[in-house]
Structure 1
Amino acid sequence: MGSSHEQSLSIALPNPIRYYPMGDQAIVLSFGDTLSEALNTQVRKVVACLENWSQPGLIECVPAYTTITIYYDPLTITYQELLSALQMIVQDIPEDTEYKGLKKEIPVYYNGADLAYVAQYNGLTEEEVIRLHSTPEYRVYMIGFVPGFPYMGGMDSRIATPRKEVPRLKIEAGAVGIAGEQTGVYPIETPGGWQIIGHTPQQLFDLTRESPSLLEVGDRVCFVPISYDEFVQQKTKSNGH
């Protein structure tokens, strides 16, 4: 299981897939190097086919923007055995494979500390930033860097803004932010460098729920502007008070 293995395979998808090891307990499927909905759709189709795959030694399948990392038990299956099995299953993916993904609305009170900066950086008014942020339908490309944090693509490039040079030491749960051409929501209190433009009263991560993360990879998300009074009312309801 040396680290020099790297192979390409053309399948019935727009791009060929590259396979390579990550350490001695994981294999990575790479679909390309460009962040796009088309590539992420490829990822989701393959994940949909792997979700019910009963391969001995398979531990976990983790999708990201343009990759899938598959963790396995090297005492049960070798890298080459898993590679061969993956190539066979990927070759047989039907063109009309469907992947799960729900449409969800997230209410946002646009009061973020960086809203004015995002507007100034892009030569817009705050109202224009709000309109441009709340108009698109976003795709959840991956979940990271803390549990339940959704990285979403599909944001209007007119409000794209770089991360902060010096991250904040604390960003509260529910903060809605922008980093480059991505948007996301902080599910728990954590340090972070995204530009905060608003807050949602919804709990994105709750261990007491059957599915702790409100959003999953493949979901489509719309942000809905709300007033301060609506934010307080929904926040109170969300906290169970």
Structure 2
Amino acid sequence: MLGPATAAEVARAKVNFVDYSGPARLAVEILDKYKMRINVDPRTEREPLTLRVELPKTGRSAWPIMDVEVLDSEGRAVSVRRGDIAWDKLLITVPPERSTFVVRAVDSVAEGPQLPSEKDRLATDAKTGVSATICRWYDGRRAALSIRFDDSHPTHLSKAVPILNEYGFRGTFMVNPGGHPSNSRRRSAFESHRDEWEAVAKRGDHEFANHTLHHRGAESDEEMERQIGEASKAIWKILPDKR
């Protein structure tokens, strides 16, 4: 067992606080070949912290990084972020209180993380208090398959919609319904084919969803709110009977 410290390395597994040099401390204990316990003592720290766990992915001590779960002191699954596609790097949000986490590999077939039912699944970020849950299908419907298309590409109209119609599938089109940007004379892909998109909407065989006005991102929360809000208005405008 190593600790207390702000970082530790045990059996080539590295654990540390992200961008932190305050009073909080951590201790790491190897419990089994693919199992470790991390104890966090915030001491006088009053803000949530982010814990980074980097697992070895090569060599004799490599972990099966695709099949790893994190549990709290009561054995409940903890929400974990990954570093992009770096599955060996785990990011865990730690509340400003004494916490214990167990990082372990599981047999994805025989054991696997036990997930609650969809209606009971809830993840809360300790730093912001923001919670997320599983989306509910419109009108209480259930779907065995959802096929989604992003960015209003012209091939969605020329290829995807006809194929979906032929086989009787329903598509969800994440559209960018904004016109041309203020600094450009080029019309957006959606604007260039607006009549066709409106015809698809009128037939009612497929669903439309918000992908912001132009898919260019935003430099502020206010701009992002405007992008999403204006896109919603544009979508409702071509779906007047779906309000």
TM-score by length of 2: 0.31
TM-score by length of 1: 0.32
Structure number, greater radius of gyration = 2
Structure number with the bigger relative contact order (C-alpha 8 A, sep ≥ 6) is 1
